[in-house]
Structure 1
Amino acid sequence: MGEDSLSGLVSELKMAVPWGHIAAKAWGSQQSHPVLCLHGWLDNANSFDRLIPHLPKDFYYVAMDFGGHGLSSHYSPGLPYYQQNFVSEIRRVSAALKWSRFSILGHSFGGIVGGTFSCIFPEMVDKLILLDSTPFVLDSNEMENLLTYKRKGIEHTLQVEEAKEPSRVLSREEMLQRFLKNNSHVGEECGELLLQRGTTPVATGVVLNRDRRIAWPEHSFDFVSRELFVHSIKKLQAHVLLVKATQGYYDVRRVHDKDKECVFLIIDKLKSVLKERFQFVEVPGNHYVHMNQPHHVTGIISSFLQSRDSTPARL
């Protein structure tokens, strides 16, 4: 498919929520079947700019900015950024767009939020695509740390609120270099793309848009037990495609990244529970393969979206 197949149809959306608005960008026709695209931790809707133009034209792709990210409003003072809040944002967006059934394409944290939503509202999601992601995070490596994360999350929020420091102004180049240093899997071109939506120009440079209360994913993630994970995926009505990058991440906390047991356990359980409704594909690339080398994943995602078997087989 040509690179410009959908690029001329991009529009910006703003959906009202009690604390302000959720921003999104859309490709394609509203009359087509909807696909909600969910970005990773600290990223924004531009995460999908290099992927969606290559996907089938007969879908309506909406990439939202989670609250406190990109062009979406920050949460009200005192309100924390917990995973459940992000899950409820999907329900708010689908209600605003009057969607009763749609597909989800989620990268990293977006896949975890989208996966959780798909188990809580199973009748609403026909297809779930996970890009270097899993539908939940297991607690296997984290049991000792879970209470510490909750404590640190609260303390960090209070510190940011108390400090009331103005957003730091940096030159565009300095902002990019800091961003690339903190995101080793993002190339320079993709880093610039994410910062386009993730920063606001001011007189002397740029400032980050994201809410500084959002700092570490482990403060917001809901880690679940194996039992809760298996119980939850049994609720799924969606067909699930999990695309794993060979050089991608295997754990929320990078200190455990060499331990691949959790991811393989999740894949094994998805296979045994969903059977023919689950597909697992490995592709060469790192955690941002959908941005760095979109051609590695476009064919797989396109085939999955266009496949007709969107309802579970009845025995």
Structure 2
Amino acid sequence: GLISELKLAVPWGHIAAKAWGSLQGPPVLCLHGWLDNANSFDRLIPLLPQDFYYVAMDFGGHGLSSHYSSGVPYYHQTFVSEIRRVVAGGIVGGMFSCIFPEMVNKLILLDSPLLLLESNEVENLLTYKRRTIEHMLQVEASQEPSRVYSLKQLLQRLLKSNSHLNEECGELLLQRGTTKVAAEMGFRHVGQAGLKLLTSGDPPALASQSTGITGLVLNRDQRLSWPENSVDLVSRELYAHSIRKLQAHVLFIKAVHGYFDVRRENYSDKESLSFMIHTLKSTLKE
């Protein structure tokens, strides 16, 4: 079962994590996906051998981890540096395994997409970079207070945007991805200065059942609201070169009704999946 909640100090605050299994067992680092958190593994870990030591971390700006300092953008490269700090998601884990190949023995990719940069998309890349900078500046300048929602409202929003999730999985993510707020604030908005944290012993998902609780605010950093903000597109040549650096045994698991089937049905995403699998098979040894 769950051993403990962890809080690891970093220059901008802390990285939150949770651990299962045996402290004496081989360590397994579990990395969540975009806008998710460490609770992504709550249903999976109990099904795995318990003689390993599983640690699931919240990336910066996600879950219970600290947000980056003002003016500092979120990129996959910075997430990789977070892993290095913790060691000392799918995409990020693969990138880490290529940059620090000697530190990874086995790499398991769960429905992990490859974001390819085609030669005719260079102009789009420049547009993304411009948007990223402008969006970050807009968020910092606006200083909009966090909106307060009911659990039902947040769950409906989450399931609408992620049709492959069921209510149980949605509630798991919201448990770690929200903070409870006090009744006097109402349901409209709450500023950071007026945020009143309640006892940590009550699960966030039970907020509506607790005395004096009216709603939840999302924990994630508002600067993470655009996926492009952290996307590091790579060329086919760079991807193939990076794969050759891998020393780990690799297992790629494609989900049924997952990323490539439900959310990304366009040709380019399916083509990138074929390229990724072909490159892994042709480059890595059996």
Q: TM-score, normalised by structure 2?
A: 0.85
CA distance, structure 2, for counterparts of residue 128 and residue 246 of structure 1 = 20
1:68 corresponds, among 61, 67, 70, to 61
Identical residues among aligned pairs (%): 75
Q: 1:10 aligns to what?
A: 3
Q: 2:196 aligns to what?
A: none
1:139 corresponds, among 94, 102, 117, to 117
Aligned residues: 254
Structure with bigger gyration radius: 2
* Matching of residue 79 in structure 1 with residue 68 in structure 2: no
RMSD: 1.8
2:130 corresponds, among 151, 157, 167, to 151
Q: 2:83 aligns to what?
A: 90
* Matching of residue 43 in structure 1 with residue 22 in structure 2: no
CA distance, structure 2, for counterparts of residue 161 and residue 266 of structure 1 = 37
- Indicate how the Cα distance of structure 1 residues 58 and 91 shifts in structure 2: closer, same or farther if over 3 A, else same: same
CA distance, structure 2, for counterparts of residue 199 and residue 266 of structure 1 = 35
Runs of 4+ aligned structure 1 residues displaced above 4 Å come to none
CA distance, structure 1, for counterparts of residue 258 and residue 267 of structure 2 = 9
Letter in 2 for 1:186: L
- Indicate how the Cα distance of structure 1 residues 72 and 257 shifts in structure 2: closer, same or farther if over 3 A, else same: farther
2:180 corresponds, among 189, 201, 206, to 201
1:28–1:58 contact (8 Å) kept in structure 2: yes
Q: 2:248 aligns to what?
A: 238
Residues 214-225 of structure 1 aligned to structure 2 (within 5 Å): 214-225=224-235
Structure 1 portions without partners, runs of 5+: 1-6, 96-109, 277-315
What's the CA shift for 1:78?
A: 0.6
Question: Secondary structure of the residue that 1:250 maps to in structure 2?
Answer: helix
Residues 145-294 of structure 1 aligned to structure 2 (within 5 Å): 145-203=124-182, 204-250=214-260, 254=264, 256=266, 259-276=269-286
CA distance, structure 2, for counterparts of residue 246 and residue 41 of structure 1 = 19
CA distance, structure 1, for counterparts of residue 172 and residue 267 of structure 2 = 27
- Indicate how the Cα distance of structure 1 residues 273 and 258 shifts in structure 2: closer, same or farther if over 3 A, else same: closer
What's the CA shift for 1:215?
A: 1.5
What's the CA shift for 1:258?
A: 6.7
Letter in 2 for 1:120: I
Structure with more contact order per residue of length (Cα contacts < 8 Å, sep ≥ 6): 2
